[in-house]
Amino acid sequence: MLDSTLQGTFDQVLRRNAGEPEFHQAVREVFESLELIQDRHPEYQEHGILMRMCEPERQIIFRVPWVDDQGVTQVNRGFRVEYNSALGPYKGGLRFHPSVNLGIVKFLGFEQIFKNSLTGLPIGGGKGGSDFDPHGRSDGEVMRFCQSFMTELHRHMGEYTDVPAGDIGVGAREIGYLFGQYKRLTNRYEAGVLTGKGLDWGGSLVRKEATGYGAAIFADEMLKARGSSFEGKRVAVSGSGNVALYAIEKAQQLGGVPITASDSSGYVVDENGIDLQLLQQIKEVERGRIHEYADRRGNGARFVKGGSVWDVPAAIALPSATQNELSEADAQTLVKNGVEAVSEGANMPCTPEAVTVFREAGTAFGPGKAANAGGVATSALEMQQNASRDAWSFEHTERRLTEIMKNIHSTCLETAEELGRPGDYVVGANVAGFRKVADAMIAFGVI
Ligand code: NDP
């Protein structure tokens, strides 16, 4: 049970946003941390910050009609939730997946506010997407869908207003089609209006790698803070998309041995360490399925259909697929197998019960809004490069990313310490992210 003020606000959130369990979960988790600062900040209550923070500034829902390869008209639903612009233009990805609905977009947008605040860069929070499923669609179908989606979305965007990027189901191909249509509709080469662009047309080096690299760097920082490291340790990774692939790469560079990857059909275990080149060829180039990795690798690598990747013993876990993919039972298995650190590459991949298991076991746990902030941080670096008509080197950009991740890590640790909860990165991330946004909202008056 929350304290009475927070509970009252939370009840209102439940009433106003019925049937959106992921959104409720995200709000509740932040509220639990805010209990620790209720008494220190009466001004937040006085200015109605909590209720204003939970209510998006704007929510856009639109029809996306398009014609498939058989000449049949299809209709999807498009969303953009412009959540909070206290610190800068709305910033956050677009997700194309059949599970997308308003509640999912709101949970992601809400998380994004605090994540973006933690980066220390001038970006507000937003998120969007569609229930369109790109799996099995031809390039032509994906292009026509993206063009129709942007035909509506473009009127809400702008480099000082709202700057989308990729997420599940939205990679370089989709960003290309979206940017092309934006450019055509507006007759402007406004590069800073979308991030995750191709390197030849306004993209930034390291953006593709940034989320996965950042999650591994965050894990490394948590390990170092306890006198440990990646060196020679088994690393379990879920997913095999953008975040997972580059979490694997950075974990390898840090001396770890990633041994798993997954998709929605099952997972592979490769006791000799994942062959990243082969995995990239199958997933990034051929857009294939994860079992093909085991088929082609030989070497004892095996595919497990369905099941849980978290059954594989590992010292470090990097969940990098989707929300609520790691349950309480999975967390108990990981703890029993001696996991030292869990760093969330995905957004909210661990259920609240799983997080409790890690906290009680003393496992270092990095919540997504801190651990996967490297992606959006590098998007903000892409915007900086676009604004100054410049392109930075890989080394320079990676150095900036590493600095940002280290800063987020120390901010979380210091905030947790200040609140009497040493080592609690959840509390540290929620409170540090929240305070900056809340203070800016007070400065602006009731708007
Ligand atoms: P991709 O679409 O590139 O990859 C997603 C991966 O997760 C795929 O392997 C996919 O498998 C798997 N997956 C998706 N849904 C499910 C499911 N319901 N059950 C099991 N596996 C699933 O997405 P990203 O790598 O970009 O995103 C992964 C996570 O990281 C998301 O939570 C996203 O919000 C978060 N994130 C991404 C950022 C980015 O920069 N891209 C930034 C910050 C967070 P399949 O192909 O079978 O669906």
Residue-by-residue pLDDT tens, the chain, 447 positions: 788 889 999 999 999 999 999 999 999 999 999 999 999 999 999 999 999 999 999 999 999 999 999 999 999 999 999 999 999 999 999 999 999 999 999 999 999 999 999 999 999 999 999 999 999 999 999 999 999 999 999 999 999 999 999 999 999 999 999 999 999 999 999 999 999 999 999 999 999 999 999 999 999 999 999 999 999 999 999 999 999 999 999 999 999 999 999 999 999 999 999 999 999 999 999 999 999 999 999 888 999 999 999 999 999 999 999 999 999 999 999 999 999 999 999 999 999 999 999 999 999 999 999 999 999 999 999 999 999 999 999 999 999 999 999 999 999 999 999 999 999 999 999 999 999 999 999 999 999
CA–centroid distance, residue 243 to ligand 1 (Å): 7
Please report the atom of ligand 1 found closest to the CA of residue 283.
9
CA distance 183 to 186: 5
pLDDT at 1: 79
For ligand 1, atom 23, the nearest C-alpha belongs to: 168
Helices (H), 35-85: 42-46, 49-54
Q: Is 336 a catalytic residue?
A: no
Contacts of 76 (CB under 8 A, 6+ apart): 64, 66, 130, 131, 132, 145, 149
How many angstroms separate the first and last alpha carbons of the chain?
A: 30
Q: Which domains does the chain show, CATH number per domain?
A: 1-55 (no CATH), 56-190 (3.40.50.10860), 208-371 (3.40.50.720)
Helices (H), 311-424: 328-336, 352-361, 368-371, 374-387, 394-418
- CB 229, CB 201: distance < 8 Å: no
Question: Would strands 364-366 and 341-343 be described as parallel, antiparallel, or unpaired?
Answer: parallel
- CB 212, CB 244: distance < 8 Å: yes
pLDDT at 231: 98
Structure tokens at 446: 């009731």
219 lines ligand 1 (CB under 6 A): no
In which order are the strands placed within the sheet that holds 58-67? 58-67, 73-84, 125-130, 90-96, 162-165
Task: Count other C-beta atoms under 10 Å from residue 141's C-beta.
Answer: 18
169 lines ligand 1 (CB under 6 A): yes
CA–centroid distance, residue 109 to ligand 1 (Å): 16
Alpha carbon of residue 197 to chain centroid = 17
pLDDT at 380: 98
Contacts of 287 (CB under 8 A, 6+ apart): none
203 lines ligand 1 (CB under 6 A): no
Question: Would strands 90-96 and 125-130 be described as parallel, antiparallel, or unpaired?
Answer: parallel
- The set of long-range contacts for 387-395, using a CB threshold of 8 Å and a minimum separation of 24, is 387/159, 387/192, 391/204, 391/205, 392/204, 392/205, 393/205, 394/205, 394/206
**Among residues 196, 169, 194, 198, which one has the least CA distance to residue 179?**
194
CA distance 319 to 331: 11
321 lines ligand 1 (CB under 6 A): yes
CA distance 246 to 213: 6
Q: Measured at the alpha carbon of residue 317, what is the angle toward residues 359 and 269, in degrees to the nearest 5? A: 145
